[in-house]
Structure 1
Amino acid sequence: MSIIQAQHIMLNDPAHVRVAYEPKYSHGSAFINGTYVDLDNAAIPMSDLGFTQADACYDVVSVSKGYFFRLEDHLERFESACTKFQLTNPYTKKQTTEILTNLVKQAGAKEAYVWWAVTRGFMPDGGDRINPNAYENRFYAFVVPYVFISNDEQRARGIDLLVSKQFIRIPPEAVDPTAKNFHWMDLKLSLFEANTANKEWSVLCDASGYLTEAPGSNIFLIKDGVLYTPDSGCLEGITRKTTLELAKEIGMPIHVERVHVEQLLNADEAFLTSTAGGIMPINTVDDTVLGGKAGPGELTTQLHNLYWTKRWDGWLGTAVDYSTPANV
C-alpha cells in the first residue's frame, strides 16, 4: 500500500479545484472586526493586544472537496479556549459559521485553510487593566488555499524529525496548551534548531523528557501494533481525535498516556497529525530510522489513506454551497 498523493489530487482533480472567484481574492479572503476584505488588504491595529502581547486564542479548520471537516468540533474547542483565557467572541457560533463560510465562498476555495481568532483588543480607557470585562475583544478571520506542513513527496518517504535539545514546551501551568494560543516561541525556535541540524520538523518534550507536541501538530508512535500518544502538555487536536477514532475503527489498541522520548526513538512507526496536513509519516527521529526500515510504516499508511478517503466521502463534513453568493 502506498501513500495517497493528497496534494496532487487537491490541485488537479476537478472535484477539488477552486471555483470562480474575484481576482482580488486570489491570495485569500479576510474578515477584520466586522468588514470583509481581500487578504492583501487585511490588517489589524498596531495597538491590539493580540499583536503587542500575544493575548488571544485562535483555531483553524480545513475545507477539502468543498466540505468543512469537523466544523462543530473546532467551534466548540474555540469557545472552550475563549473561556479558559477569559475572552469573549463577539459573534455567536452561528454567526461565526456564517463568517467562515462567506470567506470560503469569496476565495472560491474547495481546498482551504480557515483561520480565526479573538484578541483581547485594546487597552481599556482609564487603565482598568486587571478587569477582563473592561476590554473590547476583537474578532479576525482569513481563508487561504489549503496548507500542507509536509508535501506529497515528504509524506511518501516520511519526514526526518528532530527531538529538540535546546527547548522544552511551555509548561501547562504557565500557558494552557489545550487553548490554542499565540505563544509559539518555543515551537518556532525548535524548528530553527531542526533546520540547523538538517531535519524537517521538530518535537518538544517537557522538563522530564516526556513528549508533548510538535509545532502545529500532535505526535503518535506505534510499537508492536499499539498506538501511543501523549495525554498532556499538548493541544487536544481535532486531527488527533480523528486519528484515535480511525485507529479504533481498524482495531488498533490505543494508549493515551505519558510517553517518554525513549519510546519514540524505539518505535516501529511514528507520525504527526495536524489540520494542516492530516496524518504525516515520520521516517527518522534524531537520525534513527524507525523500525529499521525507511519510509512510512504499514499502519501509518493505512491510517493516512483512510483519513483522506473518508473525508472526501463527506465523513463528518459540512458542505459549502458554492452556488449561492457570499452573504456580505
Structure 2
Amino acid sequence: MPLDAYAAGAAYVDGRYMPVAEAAIPVTHFGWRRSDVTYDVVGVWEGSFFRLDDHLTRFAASRAKLRMTPDESEADLRAILNRVVALSGLRSAYVSMECVRGAPAPGQPRHPAFVRPYVVAFAIPWIWLAPPEMMARGMHLMTSQTLRIPPESVEPRAKNFHWGDMTRAQFEALEAEADYAILPDREGNVTEGPGFNVFSITGGVVSTPIRGGLDGITRQSVMELCEELGLPLEVRAIPVAELQAADEIFACTTAGGIMPASRIDGRRMNNDRPGPISMRLHDRFWEKRAEGWRATPVDYAAATEMA
C-alpha cells in the first residue's frame, strides 16, 4: 500500500497494519458491547515520543488490573507504536494503544475469562484538548452535579471507556457555558475532568487530588516540575469548595500538556487570565520538551521497511 494512504493516520488491529479509516472492531466483541477495553495515549511532539516508557508501564498495569494478556510483548508494543507513527509520517501525533476483549469462541461461556484480548493502536494528527485560543484566555471550568464513578466500582487508574459520568458532566458544562466540567466524588472532593487531571494553587501551594482519578503521566511531570522549581506540592483530598476559592487552577493531559484556567463556576481568577504559577509551570514544561526531556525519537525509517 502506498505510504500516502496513511496520511490521515495509521492503525494496527490484531496483527495487521492499515490506514486509520479502515480500522474497526466487530460489533459482537466485548470491547464494543461491554466497554471491556483498557487503553493509554502517548504523545509524539516534533518527532519524539514523550515518556514512552512510563506510558507502556501504565498500560501494562491497566491490563493486569483488567486481567488482559494479549499476544504482543512490551517490545512488540513499542515497535507497533513506532510503526504506526512512521507509517503516518506525522511529526506531532496522538498515539493510542488499546487492549480490547473480543468475542467468545463457539462453545465457550460468555464470560470475559474465556475471551481473547487483542491489541489495537493508531496514530492520528496531534489533538489539543484546549486549543490555542482557549489556552491564551484560560479554560472556563465548572464543577458538575454528576458524581465520578467511585473507584470501588471502576478503577480510574486503569484507563477505561466508562465515560457515562464524564459525558453527562460535559452536557452540564455546555449548559453552563463552560469549556469543561470537573467531577466531584460522593464525599464532595475533586476527582478529575474528562480526559485530564486537576491542580489547584492556594497561597503558593500546588495541590492535586489523591483519589478518584487517573495517575496521569503529565500529572507526574507536573510533580517533577514543582520539585525542580521549588514549588510546594500536596497530594491530598481537595474539597470542591476549596477548588472554587483557589487562587489558580490548571488541568493537565497528554493532549495539551499544562492547561491553565481563568474561571471556575463563573468566578474569574487573575483578572480572567491564566495565573502566574500555572504559566510558570506551563512554560517550563514546553521548554523542557524542546530540550528533549524524556524523549524517544521515532524511527521513521520503519515506514519504508514495511512499505
TM-score calculated relative to the size of structure 2: 0.96
**Alignment RMSD, CA only?**
1.3
CA distance, structure 2, for counterparts of residue 44 and residue 273 of structure 1: 30
Matches within 5 A, 1:78-97: 78-97=59-78
The residue that corresponds to 1:289 in the other structure is 268
Give the Å deviation of 1:24: 1.6
Which secondary structure does the structure 1 equivalent of 2:272 belong to?
coil
Q: How does 1:13-24 map to 2 (within 5 A)?
A: 22-24=3-5
Kept after mapping to 1: 8 A contact 2:86/2:301: no
- Of residues 236, 244, 255, the one that matches 1:265 is 244
- Give the corresponding residue for 1:11: none
Query: Which one of the candidate residues 204, 228, 231 is aligned to 1:252?
Result: 231
1:153 alignment partner in structure 2: 133
Q: State the match for 1:173 in structure 2.
A: 152
Q: Distance in 1 between matches of 2:14 and 2:121?
A: 9
Deviation per CA, 1:155-186: give whole Å up to 9, x if none. 11101101102x10000000000000010110
- Look up the SS of the partner of 2:225 in the other structure: helix
User: Percent identity between the aligned chains?
Assistant: 39
Provide the residue aligned with 1:322 in structure 2. 300
Q: SS state of the match for residue 177, structure 1?
A: coil
In structure 2, stretches of 5+ residues that fail to align are none
1:55-93 alpha-carbon deviations (Å, 9 max, x no partner):
010000000011100000000000000110111132111
Once the two structures are TM-superposed, the CA of residue 282 in structure 1 deviates from its matched residue by 0.7
Q: Within 5 Å, which residues of 2 pair with 1:1-328?
A: 22-130=3-111, 132=113, 134-165=114-145, 167-291=146-270, 293-325=271-303, 327-328=305-306
- The code of the aligned residue for 2:69 comes to T
* Counterpart-to-counterpart distance in 1, 2:305 and 2:176: 48
Q: Aligned to 2:81, what secondary structure does the other structure show?
A: helix
Q: What SS does the aligned partner of 1:31 have? A: strand
Q: Which residue of 2 aligns with 1:10?
A: none
The Cα shift of 1:48 comes to 1.1
Consecutive unaligned residues of structure 1, counting only runs of 5 or more, are: 1-20
* Letter matched to residue 4 of structure 2: P
Q: CA deviation at 1:130?
A: 4.0
1:206-242 deviation line (CA, Å, top 9, x unaligned): 0111000000000001011100000110000000000
2:300 & 2:240 partners in 1: Cα distance? 46
Deviation at 1:325?
Answer: 3.1
- The 8 Å contact of residues 31 and 100 in structure 2, kept in 1 or not, is answered as yes
Partner SS state of residue 154, structure 2:
coil
CA contact (8 A) 2:47 2:92 kept: yes
Across the two proteins, how many residue pairs are aligned to each other? 305
- Cα contact 1:266–1:290 (8 A) shared by 2: no
Work out the CA distance in 2 between the residues paired with 1:326 and 1:31: 16
Which residue is equivalent to 1:12? none
| Amino acid corresponding to residue 232 of structure 2 in structure 1 | P
